[in-house]
Structure 1
Amino acid sequence: MNVSNKIEKVDNKGEYIDIVTDGGKFRIMFLKSDIVRIRCTFDKEFPKEASYALVMTAWEDKMDSVMSEERKRIKPYIAKFEEFNEYVCLKTDLLKININKEPFAIEIFNNESKLLHSDLKEKSYLKDENGRLSHYSCINDNDSFYGFGEKTGYINKSKRRMRMNNVDTLGYDSQRSDPLYKHIPFYIKLNKTNKIACGLFYNNSYSSIFDMGCERSGYWDKYSYFSTEGGELDLFFMYGPDIKDVVRNYTDLTGKTALPPLYSLGYFGSTMFYTELQNDCDKAILDFIDKTKKEDIPCDGFFLSSGYTTGEDGKRHVFNWNNNRFPCPEKFVNKMKERGADISPNIKPGMLITNPLYEEFKSAKAYIMDENGKEPHEDRFWGGKASFLDFTNPKARELWKKHLKQSFIDKGIVCIWNDNNEYEINNSKALCEFEGEKITINAIRPLMPNLMAMAAKQALKESCPDVRPYITNRAGFAGIQRYAQTWAGDNSTSWHSLKFNIPVILGMGLSGVANQGCDIGGFYGPAPEPELYVRWVQHGIFQPRFSIHSCNTDNTVTEPWMYPSYTKYIRDAIKLRYNLAPYLYSLLFEASTEGSPIMRPLFYEFQEDTNTYDESFDFMYGKSMLVASIYDKGATTRKIYLPKGCMWYDWYTKKMYEGGQTIEIETSIDKIPLFFRSGSIIPLSEDIMNLHLQNIDSLNILVEPWQDCEFTLYEDDGTSNKYLKGEYLKTCIKVKSDEHGDVEVDFNKEGSYVTKVENLNLSVICRELAPVNIAVDNKNIIFYLDRGSFESSQEGWYFDNEQKTVKIKYNNHLGNYKVSISYAVKDLISI
């Protein structure tokens, strides 16, 4: 056992400090005043910098050329350095780090001297006889732990032990199975006493373990640990104090969520059943799209399961089109586009040894090789023995892109679905090219799916430079959000899965992956019963990725109309999804710039309310909406905790509730329990059935004005990359009220994109009084006493007494303007 017990040498290099202990070597550097890197190796020298994960660095890195379009080089933050007899100190305006000389340990404080992190003294950094590296940290009973990527169970991972690894976990238990498909070694610590958040990211892609207080020894203070099979301990500590700050800092390091095309927010159909038909699979899918229109159900695309690749031997062969099932792929793609639907074909990185293209890729040495580096490594895969593409090999990436173009992009397909890319390679010594320097697969396995997505993005850019990519990945490492939307794989069909998939998604959002979801209705198992199916769709419409998918074990197909007497509930839920499209698109823009999740745990928005710290199932949708999904069979009521610090309104009735209490409401099969908070701005569309073919030309904006608030409504053309050149429109909507209770809604615009919105409708919540006057751009508009007259008018306002809401309508303004709402009391008697 090699343990770092005492400091032997300290060398202040200015931009960083080097420390030599009797165990490991350390390098400590601040990237910013609130992000510190602690690098530890037990080798003679630090290994060469070589990261596919980081997009913000302050050093030269082997992957700089590979990552040239994504990586930003910054100058390190120079911390104040002081050395004392017992410790070394580094200070910034936000943090202070004390490095104890003996016993060696690192402690991190904020500028108010509150302890944020402390190594476990005498057991802080160590390397065991088998080469495993471990880092031990002190914890206490008031610490909550969140994130860790895609993990099952309750949202707070205190007292959990979790393995970091990519595994194909068909039909997993969403409460207990571990690991799943993603490997993201990052977590957030939030203390219930001081309510301060910080984050820790271990930039290490070996298989590893997090133990968050599950292990206990009476000889030590309470501790957590990170333990990895190899590499180095490369730790990035990120300060909050808000969780939002931690997530922003983490996504500064590993990248923001890619802004997807607008149509990706729509409903995408999917099922393995259709592509397993022996003939005319294309017709079955076209009929599906046509039926959505007949059933009055919005739809924008279809995820094409891998049956389309089936060869004469009955096996799936990547880049192959089965001509019996799809006689003319180009014609099929064009017919889908005419219907306003895109196709996203399933693509796998394992190439069966019977694939007609196998030898071409072998000749190019595009596969991961055996431990001798002479022959392609063969391993178990879906359908038999296969070799896996080595995406760390530039030549392999180029050949892969060539076939992506020939098989898909040249046929009009611009949506790529990367599946079965966990790289479950059983020989840990199999060799990868690693940009020319060779490395074993166990060192970089979870990075392969990231690079697979990167190759798809590059192929689309090279062939269709103005088309915004839409890529979906099942597996991934830290940073996967830069390239792809993800989903939580092959979930099982049960009420249990519906419930516990919620914290799985929330944990991913906290781990930087804002654009993700789960298969709605359940992927594996018998068809969902009608009530379960309705409740799953009603919850699923809030997931950034919304797709009903299935591989039912009872020979059924999960379709929106599978239970005709329940179809109306499915239809209504999907239409609400489309109504929320302007809000969701704006949230995805926020994710692309700030890193913010879409589905947010309550404590993300209400960190001061410790009652939210263990809530795993109710969540915020953006900062304004609270969703309380129904996940219990036969439920007729629902208890909901409404966080303190604001008022809350029932979505349907506008009934007001005080925050900081648990309420119980009645629920029925046709209702999704929804609330919005005081200080809300929620833009909605209406009558949208297809995001490909229709423009959002009318907006309904719900405003709760009794807390000052703002929201950025984001618009662009929804499909191109012109937004990167300034062709977007950001409308900052600010709401404030004055001492007299009058309300002002300001619209301030930025960007060159010309909006398609022609009509605006505001629904402004009123508490005690109805307005007496409303002006748009300083011009008074007409008040209507009669609802019918108001609804038939082009401009004016009307007061809805039942919901205490003022309805305002007017033609949209291209420039900046404001809406003024006056509540001065009219004294009718004295008149």
Structure 2
Amino acid sequence: MLVERPLTNLAPSAKQPADAFVLNNEQGFEWSLRLLTPSILKINVTGPKHPLPQQSNVLWSQKPLAVQSKIDAAAKKATISVEGLRRDLTVQWDDTPIVEVHESVEGSSEKVRVFGDTPHKSYCFSDKGFTRYTRFNNHNLHVGMGEKAAPLDLTHRSFSITGSDAASYDAYLSDPLYKHTPFLMSLPKPVDVDGNAQPMTSVVGIYSASNSDANWDVGRFIDEPWTMFKKYAQHWGGLEEYIFFGQHAQEVVSQFSDLVGRPLLVPRDWLGYLASGMGLGESDVPIAQELLSGWPGMCKQNDIPCSAIHLSSGYTVDDEGNRLVFTMNKKRYPDFAEMVKTFHKAGIRVTPNIKPYVLQAHPDYQKLYEAGALFTDPNSGNKPVVTRIWSSLPGFNALGSWVDLTSKAGRDWWRRGVLELCELGVDSVWNDNNEFLLFDDAFECKNELIGDAKTDGNRTGKPTPIGLLGRMTNTELMARESHDALVSHHPDRRPFVLTRSANVGTQKWAASTWSGDNRTSWHNLRGSIAMNLNAQMSLLQSYGNDIGGFAGPLPSPELFVRWIQSGITQPRFCIHSFKPCKEDPLGVKLNNLPWMYPEVVDIIRATIKRRYELLPFINNLNWRSHVAAEPMNTWLGWGEFASDPEVYKKEVLEGFDYWIGHGQLLSAGAYHEGEHSRRVYLPAAGKDDTKVYYDTNAPFHIHSAGKWVENVSTPLSHFALFAREGTAVPVGLPKVTLTQADGIATLTGSGTKILTEQEGGQVVHDEWRGVELFPAPADAAKAGTYEYTWIEDDGVSAKPAVAEIKLEFSSSKDEVTVKATAHKNDFKPLWGNTLWIILPRPDTRRVQGATKTMPYKGQTAYAITVAGL
């Protein structure tokens, strides 16, 4: 059993710094409290054998605020204040340090505690690590922690904060999964479990900035003498903890991103349908290059638009079946660069799989060992650590070693490998199997300095136990080197690194991630929704899952359709698998393919094309994620909907509905076999919310906010989608589109010109833009005026020019008034300045000032002019 010793006998430092309140004891421990802003607290605890975490996750560069500490020596208590502080902040140290934060509640003269440490054992140290106990409110909703199994609410559950190769995991039970995200939010509910009103106090977030493995217990562990608590147990090192306060969860997420960095801007091409070539890439007869080169033709034949192809590691397999990263199987791929150009002409980007693991059969293995680029075991004469990953299992390959990317030699080797792939024309890279699952914390990494203050953290430059530094520091460095290689080869292009694993720092370098090797089942499809929402609340905002399931049996036609319908509403839409498949004209036997079920291919085609129509809307949500850390998908109680008691009921909280764009579109898919109708709740933004919801599949059905809708139609042909009054959805063509007639968007990483349909290719120019508009209905007692702003750009440039378009609209009984203005017009869209307004069917009101009309999906679209564009 781990021995924990409470941190006691502390006293204020004789000389307090201007920006902190500091406590010390005779054992050599130092506890300090700082405020980065009036709503971000920073707590550090260090001591003998407990240094600050060596991390580069935190990017904060501003000085902490000046602190005033009013000390009551007799009571061993200090009241802390800084300029702008709107809460009461105290520190007590008669036993273990106790931080408490109280705030005023509207309608009450009393102040409510919104954060507090657990009395008598708030901070406990073990031989190598620290355990942190904070008060637990079991009436609150707890969310975040990155990628965690369903359901959404983390309350009364415990988790490993580490990454694992969790192949075929259960989306409700498995832990850990692939990500390391020690970030937790506590959200007050308007009513407690007994239905009693509860004050809507601040949302509180806690982030522990360490890459060392840890455990989070969210009120599952009960020990009566110590009251109710949450428990964070960090295996190695001292504490560096940040506590955030916000009126809504988005405020906390935004502050978290201020601290560790915003999500990267995803290139527009990676927002479309992303295909997988795993089965094709493993083939010897016919050879893989022949099969893969036929992929664009198959997409064209089946009329399925496709934006990118993932090349699994089959291209690296040698004659003995060894997967050797950064090598090429010349028999399968006699001219890899030419194959890449084939994809590029069709407008399909290419991203190859790379793994940070070298088999002993790898031609560079000995060289890497001699250069100090492999992890070593200090208990065996510093020999390289030999272990296994997926590709070294029986029936696959032999043993090997992880590449130590904290070593300069390892980083240099990795970057050269990525650059060699760039020379072959690839557009991006896919960092896979990068959990660095080393099973002994005593194994050592080189921990060599990088030379960049923002990425070095407080590294020692000396060999360091992997437990202290944290295994997934390597995950971050792998993403960094991949990112920087892409930037150096294509400095004018937006880099795109896909990563399976991640720590909190990884999002600075890798633009996208996914839920790993899921397994095909209705159960796991349902569980993927909560995983997606918690991941996006934790800055993993370009997130999705392998549509149809990676492992296990083939999805049934119905399950496949429902998974695709769900997938097009999420940030990342990728169909990827490794499983037996029906015979295909290409001979493919190891892929989920959009056209593999003729009986539903028309539905799948229409669904994927709808994704492409929505790209202008999704691209804008991508921008919102980048500039403001706003998730594309949020749970139904996000923001102003947090005060609606109904969203906390089990049917909603453990259901599968969510926002696409906060407060705009409500996705209500079918997640059970044979579910052709269902019940849907439409949240209210306060008691006086008079806005209505349009059923976009049956727009003549208009529903009030704060109501349950019975028997919502979900035939196999579509899922349910509701648009809240005031929503505007920019839409484009149902095809892969080029945003420029010439320039960077018309060329690929190989320098190949993308061919349009007129040139015999498969793409078209982005020459049409509509907006699906949902004003107040004609019979509304009160019609509001609404605004929506979106960004248009080329989707490719590292430093893009943008056009920012503001739409203002209102309505009356007989007409809808729409005004569109470009407030930034550095980018000139190919669709010019003509915007087509589309009202909900069967709304027959005219659009004031429209210059012309056109039929659009059974409705009339009205053209207006965008001023200033």
Output the TM-score relative to the length of structure 1: 0.89
C-alpha spacing 1:151/1:22, structure 2 compared with 1 (3 Å): farther
Give the AA of the match of 2:262: K
Does residue 701 (structure 1) correspond to residue 771 (structure 2)? The answer is yes
In structure 2, the CA distance between the partners of 1:674 and 1:177, relative to structure 1 (3 Å rule), is same
CA shift for structure 1 position 744: 4.9
Structure 1 equivalent of residue 439 of structure 2 = 426
What are the superposed Cα offsets for residues 95-128 of structure 1, whole Å, 9 maximum, x if unpaired? 3321113243111234654322111100111013
Query: What's 1:307 paired with?
Result: 314
Say yes or no: does 1:31 pair with 2:53: no
Residue 810 in structure 1 maps to residue 864 in structure 2: yes
Contact 2:854-2:861 at 8 Å conserved across structures: no
Tell me how far apart the structure 2 counterparts of residues 644 and 379 of structure 1 sit (CA, whole Å): 53
Cα distance in 2 between the residues matched to 1:247 and 1:478:
13
User: How far does the alpha carbon of each residue in 1:53-101 deviate from its partner, in whole angstroms, 9 at most, with x for none?
Assistant: 1122xxxxxxxxxxxxxxxx21222244322343211224233321113
2-structure distance, mates of 1:480, 1:616? 30
**CA–CA distance in structure 1, aligned partners of residues 607 and 844 of structure 2:** 33
Contact 1:481/1:515 (<8 A) preserved:
no
Question: Structure 2 unaligned runs (5+)?
Answer: 106-110, 190-197, 393-397, 450-460, 582-588, 686-690, 739-753, 755-762, 777-783
Whether the 8 Å CA contact 1:4–1:22 is kept in 2: the answer is no
In the alignment, what sits opposite 2:11? 8
In the other structure, the counterpart of 2:780 is none
Larger displacement relative to structure 2 (604-613 or 420-429): 604-613
Query: 2:435, 2:261 → 1: CA distance?
Result: 21
Asked if 1:711 is matched to 2:746, the reply is no
Q: Which residue of 2 aligns with 1:457?
A: 483
The one-letter amino acid of 2:603's match is Y
* Counterpart amino acid of residue 148 in structure 1: M
Letter in 1 for 2:90: N
- Aligned CA distance change for structure 1 residues 769 and 757 (closer, same or farther; 3 Å): closer
* Displacement of 1:371: 2.1
> What residue is the counterpart of 1:732 in the other structure?
806
**1:45-444 equivalence runs, <5 A:** 47=51, 50-56=54-60, 73-84=61-72, 85-86=74-75, 87-92=77-82, 93=84, 94-103=86-95, 104-110=97-103, 113-128=111-126, 130-192=127-189, 193-195=198-200, 196-279=202-285, 280-371=287-378, 374-381=382-389, 382-383=391-392, 384-406=398-420, 408-434=421-447, 435=449, 436-443=461-468, 444=470
Q: For 1:188 and 1:360, how far apart are their aligned partners in 2?
A: 46
Superposed counterparts of 1:540-689, under 5 Å = 540-552=567-579, 557-605=591-639, 606-613=641-648, 614-623=653-662, 624-645=664-685, 646-654=691-699, 655-664=701-710, 665-689=712-736
What's the offset of the Cα at 1:48?
5.8
SS of 1:476's equivalent in the other structure is coil
Cα distance change, pair 75–293 in 1 and its aligned pair in 2 (3 A): same
From the superposition, tell whether residues 731 and 537 of structure 1 become closer, same or farther in structure 2 (CA, over 3 Å).
same
Contact 1:601–1:615 (CA under 8 A) maintained in structure 2: no
Query: Which residue number corresponds to residue 528 of structure 2?
Result: 501
Q: Which AA in structure 2 matches 1:679?
A: G
Match of residue 59 from structure 1: none
Q: What secondary structure is seen at the aligned counterpart in 1 of 2:275?
A: strand
Following TM superposition, by how much is the alpha carbon of 1:275 offset from its aligned partner in structure 2, in angstroms? Answer: 1.4
Return the letter of the residue paired with 1:584: I
Task: Answer yes or no: is the 8 Å Cα contact 2:822–2:867 preserved in 1.
Answer: no
> Aligned to 2:544, which of 504, 517, 527?
517
SS in structure 1 opposite 2:204? strand
Sort the Cα spacing of 1:616 and 1:238 in 2 relative to 1 into closer, same or farther, 3 A.
Answer: farther
Secondary structure of the residue aligned to 1:603 is: coil
Q: Is the 8 A contact 2:770 2:837 kept in 1?
A: yes
Among candidates 464, 476, 486, match of residue 513 of structure 2:
486
SS in 2 for 1:401: helix
Report the aligned-residue RMSD. 2.4
Which residue of 2 is the match for residue 818 of structure 1? none
The alignment partner of 2:736 has SS state of coil
Q: 1:368 to 1:469 in 2, by over 3 A?
A: same
Q: In structure 1, how many angstroms separate the alpha carbons of the residues matched to 2:844 and 2:719?
A: 29
1 CA distance for matches of 2:373 and 2:276? 31
CA distance, structure 2, for counterparts of residue 271 and residue 330 of structure 1? 16
1-side partners of 2:646 and 2:400: how far apart? 50
More off after superposition, 87-96 vs 346-355: 87-96
Distance 1:273 1:197 in 2: 46
Matched with 1:829 is none
Aligned pair in 2 of structure 1 residues 767, 252: CA closer, same or farther (>3 Å)?
farther
Q: Which amino acid aligns with 1:496?
A: H
Quick one: distance in 2 between partners of 1:690 and 1:730?
20
Give CA deviations for 1:532-564 in whole Å, capped at 9, x if unaligned.
011011111122221111111575531011111
Name whichever of 89-98 and 343-352 sits farther off: 89-98
CA contact (8 A) 2:818 2:848 kept: no
Change in Cα spacing, 1:25 to 1:142, as seen in structure 2 (3 Å) is same
One-letter identity of the residue aligned with 1:15: D
Change (3 A) 1:673 1:399: same
Question: 3-state DSSP class of the match of 2:341?
Answer: helix
Work out the percentage of aligned pairs sharing the same amino acid: 27
AA aligned to 2:719 is I
SS in structure 2 of the partner of residue 98 of structure 1: strand
Q: How many residues align?
A: 772
How many angstroms does 1:6 deviate by?
A: 5.1
Mark the runs of 5 or more structure 1 residues left unpaired by the alignment. Answer: 57-72, 783-789, 793-797, 816-831
SS of 1:808's equivalent in the other structure is: strand
The separation in 2 between residues aligned to 1:696 and 1:79, in whole angstroms, is 54
The answer as to whether partners of 2:816 and 2:845 remain within 8 angstroms in 1 is: no
Contact 2:98 2:118 in 1 (8 A): yes
Deviations 1:624-683 (A, max 9, x none): 111112110011211111101332111122221011111121221001110111121211
The residue that corresponds to 1:791 in the other structure is: 854
* Further displaced range: 224-233 or 762-771: 762-771
Shift in Å, 1:741: 9.4
Asked if the contact 1:42–1:127 (Cα under 8 Å) also holds between the matched residues in 2, the reply is no
Amino acid in the other structure paired with 2:644: D
CA contact (8 A) 1:110 1:116 kept: yes
Which deviations, in whole Å up to 9, do the C-alpha atoms of 1:717-748 show, x marking residues without a partner? 1112132xxx2222233445799997453424
Change beyond 3 A, Cα 1:639–1:766: closer
Which string of whole-angstrom CA distances, capped at 9 and with x for unpartnered residues, describes residues 381-439 of structure 1?
22232121222223321221112112x10011121001001101122211112222221
Structure 2 CA distance, aligned partners of 1:235 and 1:301? 40
Q: TM-score, normalised by structure 2?
A: 0.85
SS in 2 for 1:467: coil
| Residue 830 of structure 2, aligned match among 745, 756, 760 | 756
